[in-house]
Amino acid sequence: MHGSPLRSHRRFVGAYHRIALLAALLAPALLPLSTLFAVGTLVEDQPVGGDAPKVAPPDLTSKAAAEKKQQIHEIFRAEYAKKSTEDRIHLARHLKEEAARNSDDPVANFMLLCESRDQAILGKSIPDAIAAIDEMGKHYAIDACEQEFTVLKGISPAALPADAAHAFVEQALTIGRNAALAGNYDLALRTASLGETAARATHQTALAPVVRAVMTQYSAAQAEASKAKEAAARLEKNADDPDDNLTVGRFLCLIRNDWDRGLPFLAKGSDPAVKALAVKDAQRPLVPVQRKQLADAWWDLGEQHKPLAAGFHRRAAYWYSLAESGFNGLERLSMKRRIAEVRQQAIASGEPVESKWISEKATYIAGSQPYADHPPLPSLLDGTAQGDSYSFHTDDKNPWIVIDLKDLAHVTRLEIVNRRDTDGRFISRAKTLTIWTSSKQDGPWTPIWQAKDAQPEWKIDLPSPVTCQFLKLGLRESTGFHLLSVKVFGSFD
C-alpha cells in the first residue's frame, strides 16, 4: 500500500495429496463460465501476480480508529452536515478517493472506506457502498461478501426506482456468486433468497426465474459439498474406497469444474461408466474423432444423470470445442449447437458472460442509399472513427442499419457515439434510436432497447445477455440517421 499521510483537507481528500484435497473441499467453488474450456482451473486464496498479502483490519473499537474517525468528521464537517441523497453519495465517493491517497496509513485508509460505505448506504447507493467494501476486501482480511449482504439486507428494494431495483437483484446475484466461489454456500443461498424476494416485490419478471435457478444450483452444491467433505475424511483412512472416490470426484468435476484434480478420483470410483470415461479423459486425446467420441459419451452420461447433467454437459462442451474444427457440415453444426446449449443454460442460471469487444470485424448495411453520396464507412465498427463527423448517413425513408456479427453471440453491452458536429445541431435526430436483434438478417426482429432522448453517446448495459447474430439500429420516425461509431460487447460460443 502506498500514498500520502492524512494531512490537510486537500491532500486528505496412496491417497490423493491430503492437504490439497482438504483445502479444495474446505473452499469449494462454482466456477464461472469463463473457465468452461480451461482444464484444471482452481480458485486460490493466495495473492496472485505479486499482490501484497491482505492484513487484518484495524480494530474499530481502538483509540486510533476513534481518533481517525473524529478527524475525518472534523475535516468534512460541512459535507457531513448536508443530508440530501445526492450530497451523501458525493461524500461517499470523495471519501473513497481520499482513502486511495492515504493508503500508507492503514487506520486512516480503513476508516475512510468505512465512512464511504456508511454514507453510500445513507444515500441508498448500493454500487457506491459495494465499491467501498470491494476496496476494503483488496487489502484487508474481511468477509466482503458478508458485509455486502448486510448492505443489501438494510435496503428495501420496494422503495427503489425500477432501474435501481433491477440493479439490487443483479447485485444480489453477484454477491451470491462470489460467496459460492469462496465456498460459503450458506451465504450464497441467503443472498440469492434476498434477491428472489426483491425480484418478486419489484416485479422483475425477467430476473425472478434466474434467481430461482441459482438458488437451486447453490442448494445442490451445498449438499454435494457436505457429502464430499465427509468422503474426503474417510479417504484419509482408506484411499481406495470406490464410493468415496466417486463422491469426491463428482463434487470436484461436476460441481466445481475442477477436472484436473477430480479425474483421478472418478477413475477410482464405483461407477463403471464414469470410471471408464475418466480414464480416457485423463489420456487427453488429440484426434478430433476421439475427442468427439469422448464428448458424446460425457453428454450421454448427463442425459442419464439429470440432477448433475450440467456438469457432464460442461465437460462435453469442452471436448466439443476442441473437436469441432476437425469436422464439417452437419456434424460440426451439431457440436456447435450443443456448445451453445450449455452456454445458454449457464446464462439462464445466472453465470456471468465474458464481455469483450466483438464487433471489430463485423460488417453492416444501411437501409437506404447513402445521403449525398456519403458511403457507409467501416470506421463505424472497427474503432477508427474520430473527429467531428459520422460514419454513415441514410436518407429519410429507411433510417436504419443492420450489423452482422458473423456468428451467434451473447451480447451484453453497446457503446454508441452519435454524430459529432461542432455545433451539435443534428444529434437530436437520434432521439428515437432503437435497437432490435435477430438470428437472421431479415428478421423477425425483437426490440431490446430504445432511447429516451438524444444524447452525444450512449453506454447500454443490457439487463441480461441477448443471443443474436444481427443487430438492427434505427429510428422510429422518418429523418436522416447518422452515427459516428458503434461497439458491441459480449462473447461468441
The pLDDT value given to residue 271: 96
The mean pLDDT value for 387-396 works out to 80
For 143-200, how does the pLDDT look when each residue is reduced to its tens digit (9 = 90+)?
888 999 998 888 888 777 777 777 788 888 888 888 887 788 899 999 999 888 888 8
Residue with cell 457531513: 80
Phi, psi for 392 (deg, rounded to 5): -155, 165
The per-residue DSSP string of 59-112 comes to -TTSHHHHHHHHHHHHHTHHHHH--SHHHHHHHHHHHHHHHHHBTTSHHHHHHH
Q: Give 158's DSSP letter.
A: G
Amino acid at position 386, single letter: Q
Question: How many Å apart are CA 158 and CA 202, to the nearest integer?
Answer: 6
Domains of the chain in start order, with CATH, are: 9-223 (no CATH), 356-492 (2.60.120.260)
Amino acid at position 444, single letter: P
The mean pLDDT value for 424-444 works out to 86
Average pLDDT, the chain: 82
Look at residue 338 and tell me whether its pLDDT is greater than 60: yes
Question: How many Å apart are CA 456 and CA 296, to the nearest integer?
Answer: 50
Query: Pick the residue with more confidence: 39 or 103?
Result: 103
The pLDDT value given to residue 73: 95
Question: How many Å apart are CA 216 and CA 204, to the nearest integer?
Answer: 19
Look at residue 51 and tell me whether its pLDDT is greater than 60: no
Question: How many Å apart are CA 55 and CA 266, to the nearest integer?
Answer: 39
Instruction: Go through 99-116 and write b for each residue having 16 or more CB atoms within 10 A of its CB, e for each that does not.
Output: bebbbebbbbbbbbbbbb
Q: In this structure, are residues 126 and 171 in contact, taking their beta carbons and an 8 Å threshold? A: yes
Q: In this structure, are residues 211 and 195 in contact, taking their beta carbons and an 8 Å threshold? A: yes
CB atoms within 10 A of CB 157: 23
Q: In this structure, are residues 63 and 107 in contact, taking their beta carbons and an 8 Å threshold? A: no
Coil, strand or helix at 147: helix
Torsion of CA 246, 252, 256, 259, to 10 degrees: -110
Which candidate, 195, 101, 116, places its Cα nearest to that of 155?
Answer: 195
Residue with cell 468477509: 143
Q: Is the pTM of this model over 0.85?
A: no
Q: Which residues pair with 434 in a beta bridge?
A: 450, 474
